[in-house]
Structure 1
Amino acid sequence: MKQLLTIIAGVVVIVSMVVFIFTLRQVREEEASLTDDLERRTALLADSLKESVRPSYLSNATSTIQSVLDKFANRGRLLGLAVYDDDGDLFSVSADLPFNLSDYAAVPKQAMDADSAKGDFLEVQDNGKVYIFAAPLHQDEKIIGVLVLYQRADYIDAAKRQIWKTNLIRLLIQALLFSIAVILILRWIIFRPIITIVDTIRQARAGKVAEGAYTVKSHSFFRPIASEISKMSKSLLLARTAAREEARLRLEKIDSPWTEERLKEFIKSYLKDRKIFVVSNREPYIHKKIKNEIQYTVPASGMVTALEPIMEACGGLWMAHGSGDADKLTVDKNSKLAVPPEEPKYTLKRLWLTDQEVKGYYIGFSNEALWPLCHMAHTRPIFRKEDWIEYRKVNGKFTQTLLSEIKDTRRPVILVQDYHFALLPEMIKKSRPDAEVGLFWHVPWPHAESFSICPWRKEILGGMLGADVIGFHIQQYCNNFLETVGKEIESIADLEKFAIYHKGHTTYIKSFPISVAFTAGADGIPEPKSSLLEDMGIKTKYLGVGVDRLDYTKGILERMRGVEFFFDIYPAYKKQFTFLQIAPQTRKAVEKYRQFNDDVTREAERINKKFQDNDWQPIVLLKEHYTHEKIYPLYRSADVCLVTSLSDGMNLVAKEFIAARNDESGVLILSKFTGASRDLTGAIVINPYSAEETADAIYQSLTMPPAEQRRRMKKMRDSVKNYNVYRWAAEFIRAVTSLG
């Protein structure tokens, strides 16, 4: 519609300009014609009246002159007449002349001075434009006085206005008729076939039978395109059918790679079309108003990165907090919308929280209590009773909404995500014991002694144990959780099965190392490194990259100090190496995060000031959000990727970097305090607290032979490929449904 309006507006503007030019010309011609006619008729009238006025003027017969002037005054457009003597004084004037002549005596004087007839157009108050014409009276070639005629001239302006009005009305009618014609032509001849073609392609992409192209064939204008699309749709449909059949045959083969198609077949075969329900705090798509236009973004979140391809493959319902300022404008009456926006595959249901609930449940308890409690990054957790009350309240709110969604679903499969909803599994099980509930904890689980400082530890553990399966990234977190439960609540632990018996319910504790959709790294043609980095002002030979939310657990400050130490001990790399840190801001409402944002900015400025040389600076800090489409080319261009988290459940940036490197080059520097360091043994593993280790790892990366890079990268790519996010989802869902 926007393109249609643009076309119409463009044409109307051009036509309006043409009409304006022609109307202006017409007005000028009409004005010249009417003016010339008025001047000519006034001059003729003056010549005829002079013969009647002169004898009486010479004989000083004022009454006769007055009768002559009154006789011709107010006839047609003639307002009145006047006679001036040779001294320029008023001799006689017609009755009822509607203005003071003394204000307009310049024209008679000019006529006597020039000894010739003079005319001029003047604006007269309450009478509009008036044409004043003065003709000298002679006696023996001597000027004896002046005869002055006052003609209405406002009809000339009225005629001009009428031309403008008529042409404007004509233009509006023409524009309206033209717009209707253009809309009908474009809609039925162009846009409708295009929409049909787009729908055909969309159906083909979704694996549905695409019949639209056959209809478009009847339109000769698009017949060649429609014909090719029809053939392409058939080929794509056959390819999808073959892929599904292959996925079905590979379903039980352990060594077969997990793909989106295989996961779909697994869900269809294993769940028998049972619906999947995902519950998380963060939504996969956030709608915001940007310059009066609603746009959506995908948040920087490892959880979203992992779950989004699963939901696209399996469908179902994803329930999350609607946090965008335009979220309410994009949902239906049930607070739902189909996503992804371009190609909907599942349903997103948004829940609305009050400012008080967000402050207590999210900012307070989730991010100022549980987050630092689980991440051993030397930040003291803050426990407030009012935050805990809001946390319980919001967990109950999500529970009630979820119960209403699953009321007609038998044995629903519910996948609860992360520490925001530790109480939800038990709440769900109390009302729906038939529900099969899995809780995946995306962050580390601390040692029992560390967790024991939480005042509401027993309630949290009891809520979590309502789940049938609790998943962690690595076995160490499972061990920590079992130890914590054993010390805090009455339960029986089966160490052989890694199960906990509590209040008549069994919960299994399993490790499921989360991953990424490996195929994403092969998409698109790599953009040249020079052109990609040109806009960022990066022109160095070597590039290092870091991609993290601006979070104190990610080790960004420690990473920058490692880069600083690298230039201190390897000064030859100045102006040869640039480190690019992409760090979108997060949790701006939390004081610790606002302070950390300022600390990172100051540290980058300090290091840049220390080493900066002309247009080169060692650290480029970008705080805006980058989509995966923008980040993957940067991964491909980087010589080294730094992941230096101080504490991290898994860290998918490391796996995204590996998935992107289909050239099998580049080096990954990885913190030993990440879950990913257990899987990615080809990385250079460091202690992020040591600037010396970080600096040496950067030097080792930049000097590593290509063959060694390929060996390490191939090893890590095989690991990510063999245990991608589709396999993670299949194993987690299988555990939830088989053990529940």
Structure 2
Amino acid sequence: PFPAADVFNILHWREAIVDSLLCCDLCGFHIPRYVENFVSAARSLRDVKLVERKPVPEAFTPFGTALAEPDMTTKLEYMGRTVNVDAFPVGTNPGYIHEMVNKPSVQQRITEIRDDLGDNKIIVSAGRVDYVKGAKEMLLCFERLLERRPELRGKVNLIMTAVKAAAGMRVYKTAQSEIEQLVGQINGKYSTLTWNAIQLFTEPIPFDDLMALYKTADIAWIPPLRDGLNLVAKEYIAAHGGENGVLVLSEFTGSAVELPDAVLTNPYSDKNMDESIDVALDMPLGEQKRRMEKMHNAVTQYDVQQWANHMFREANAVAVTSPEPEKDLVPA
């Protein structure tokens, strides 16, 4: 990802970063918005000229969400040379995930999870501890859900992984403490002897178990305040293989512009968060399948192999057409 120019330009070493990128023949970013953020930052600091703009590729939604862009810069000129820019959203490996989900051991784990939780709606939220991951906002929303809709108490479970971040960072310790306190507060208020509202895991879950959890979950809830892309969303979709399920996805994740059929939500708005989880819980099976099929097609068509092929293809094209620089590209 690349931040907006007014944020990026706070950095003391902003010129050094921009100059180093302008020395490249090809600069790649996850999505068109990050391309435009880089272009804006570069033009604010250096005499960079726009050479070419194009409509965004079909893989990206051009409007309707926070990070959408209808057009994207593809070529810049700086100090007599061309700098190509493009969007390369990293993909996942749907084929491998399908294999994992169909392993007998994973199928057995899926059965165990479903037997343990019965017919309850299962919501999964997976990620590491980070103050921008939206865990606090999600937990407060879940608490409001149980207060607003008491009929759901005992019938919905939130399974949350919040893997501890690197030791020694106070801001992450504070975020971890807030998550644990909120989970304890909600469980203490609403759980019963036979039902635990939230299950929290703070250590890494084995990949087999994580795939079983994705496959079993009725809803994946991914609410970051800011996230460059987010592969958990794509892994959840791949695990379901186009079958029923609902993805609730923050529109401030880069993957939101690839997955407009998710239930897109604004984690800065309590009202919007409440509406989004209601939509997910009440969505008819037919609509679930329609949305998941479209998202599965998207993550399958642009998987990790296509991502790599795209980058190498563009890099090779640039290598053929780019002349040698005529002078020092870094201003004195």
- Short-chain TM bin: 0.7 to 0.9
Match of 2:203, SS state, is coil
Once residues 473 and 447 of structure 1 are traced to their aligned partners in structure 2, the CA distance between those partners, rounded to angstroms, is: 14
TM-score of the aligned structures, taking structure 2 as reference length: 0.83
SS of residue in 2 equivalent to 1:495: strand
Q: Distance in 1 between matches of 2:80 and 2:128?
A: 41
Pairing 1:476–2:55 present: no
What residue identity is the alignment partner of 2:96?
Answer: A
Verify the 8 A CA contact 1:566 1:696 in the aligned structure 2: no
User: By how many angstroms is 1:539 displaced?
Assistant: 5.3
- Where does 1:103-142 land on structure 2 (aligned, <5 Å)? none
Which segments of 5 or more consecutive residues in structure 1 lack a partner in the other structure?
1-442
**What's the CA shift string for 1:177-219, capped at 9, x where partnerless?**
xxxxxxxxxxxxxxxxxxxxxxxxxxxxxxxxxxxxxxxxxxx
Kept in 1, the 8 Å contact 2:237–2:295? The answer is: yes
Distance 1:709 1:593, change over 3 A: same
User: Aligned residue for 2:95?
Assistant: 519
Partner of residue 607 from structure 1, selected from 183, 186, 207: 186
Partners of 2:249 and 2:153 lie apart in 1 by 23
Unaligned runs of 5+ residues in structure 2 are: 54-72, 320-332
Q: Summarize deviations over 1:209-257 as a string: whole Å, max 9, x none.
A: xxxxxxxxxxxxxxxxxxxxxxxxxxxxxxxxxxxxxxxxxxxxxxxxx
* Corresponding residue number in structure 2 for 1:674: 253
1:626 deviation in Å? 2.0
**By how many angstroms is 1:668 displaced?**
0.5
Q: Report the counterpart of residue 293 of structure 2 in structure 1.
A: 714
Residue 650 of structure 1 aligns to which amino acid in structure 2?
L
> What does residue 171 of structure 2 align with?
592
For 2:58, the equivalent position in structure 1 comes to none
Equivalent residue for 1:60?
none
- Equivalent positions of 1:157-176 (< 5 A) are none
**Gap change, CA 1:527 and 1:695, over 3 Å in 2:** farther
Number of equivalenced pairs:
295
Partners of 2:288 and 2:96 lie apart in 1 by 21
- Structure 1 residues 451 and 479, CA, compared in 2 at 3 Å: closer, same or farther? same
Which residue of structure 1 aligns with residue 18 of structure 2? 461
Task: Give CA-to-partner distance per residue, 1:394-443, whole Å, 9 cap, x none.
Answer: xxxxxxxxxxxxxxxxxxxxxxxxxxxxxxxxxxxxxxxxxxxxxxxxx3
**Residues 1:532 and 2:94 are matched in the alignment:** no
Inter-partner Cα distance in structure 2 for 1:714 and 1:498: 31
Moved more, 703-712 or 504-513: 504-513
TM-aligned CA deviation for residue 472 of structure 1: 1.0
Match 1:573 to one of 146, 152, 163: 152
Q: 1:500 corresponds to which residue? A: 76
**Deviation sequence 1:494-516 (CA, Å, 0-9, x none):** 23462233355532110112211
The Cα shift of 1:596 comes to: 1.0
Distance 2:24 2:205 in 1: 35
Deviation, structure 1 residue 542: 1.3
Amino acid at match of 2:44: K
**1:529-584 deviation line (CA, Å, top 9, x unaligned):** 451367xx755611100011111111111111111111111111101101011111
Q: How does 1:441-460 map to 2 (within 5 A)?
A: 443=1, 445-460=2-17
1:561 aligns with 2:140: yes
Equivalent residues in 2 for 1:30-429, closer than 5 Å: none
Equivalent in the alignment of 1:551: 130
Matches of 1:617 and 1:691, distance apart in 2: 24
* Closer/same/farther in 2, CA of residues 519 and 482 from structure 1, 3 Å limit: same
In 2, distance between residues paired with 1:574 and 1:698? 15
Match of 1:703 among 258, 282, 289: 282
Q: Secondary structure at the match of 2:77?
A: strand
Confirm whether residue 618 of structure 1 aligns to residue 207 of structure 2.
Answer: no
In the alignment, the residues of structure 2 paired with residue 577 and residue 456 of structure 1 have an alpha-carbon distance, to the nearest angstrom, of 49
Q: What is the rounded CA distance, in whole Å, between the counterparts of 1:698 and 1:635 in structure 2?
A: 17
User: CA 1:663–1:478 in 2, change beyond 3 Å: closer, same or farther?
Assistant: closer
- Separation in structure 1 between the aligned mates of residue 292 and residue 8 of structure 2, nearest angstrom: 37
Alignment RMSD (CA, Å): 1.9
Q: Which amino acid aligns with 2:24?
A: A
Alpha-carbon distance, 1:589 to partner: 2.4
Q: Over residues 89-128 of structure 1, what are the superposed CA-to-partner deviations in whole Å (9 max), with x where a residue is unaligned?
A: xxxxxxxxxxxxxxxxxxxxxxxxxxxxxxxxxxxxxxxx
Larger Rg: 1
- Partner residue in 1 for 2:307: 728
Partner-residue secondary structure (3-state), 1:481: helix
Residue from 224, 231, 256 that aligns with 1:652: 231
In structure 2, the CA distance between the partners of 1:627 and 1:501, relative to structure 1 (3 Å rule), is farther
TM-score by length of 1: 0.38
State how far apart, in whole Å, the 1-side matches of 2:37 and 2:48 are.
Answer: 15
Give the AA of the match of 2:52: L
Q: Distance in 2 between matches of 1:736 and 1:589?
A: 39
Instruction: Decide whether the 8 Å contact of 2:109 with 2:209 is kept in 1.
Output: no
Q: Which has the higher helix share?
A: 1
- Cα distance in 2 for residues equivalent to 1:597 and 1:507: 42
Aligned partner of 1:123 in structure 2 is none
Instruction: Look up the equivalent residue of 1:584 and give its one-letter code.
Output: V
The letter of the residue matching 1:580 is I
2:78 is aligned with what amino acid? H
Q: Which amino acid aligns with 1:709?
A: Q
Shift of residue 446 of structure 1? 1.7
d(CA) in 1 for partners of 2:24 and 2:164? 33
| Aligned mates of 2:75, 2:39 — CA distance in 1 | 9
SS at match of 1:578: strand
Structure 1 consecutive aligned stretches of length 4 or more whose deviation exceeds 6 Å: none
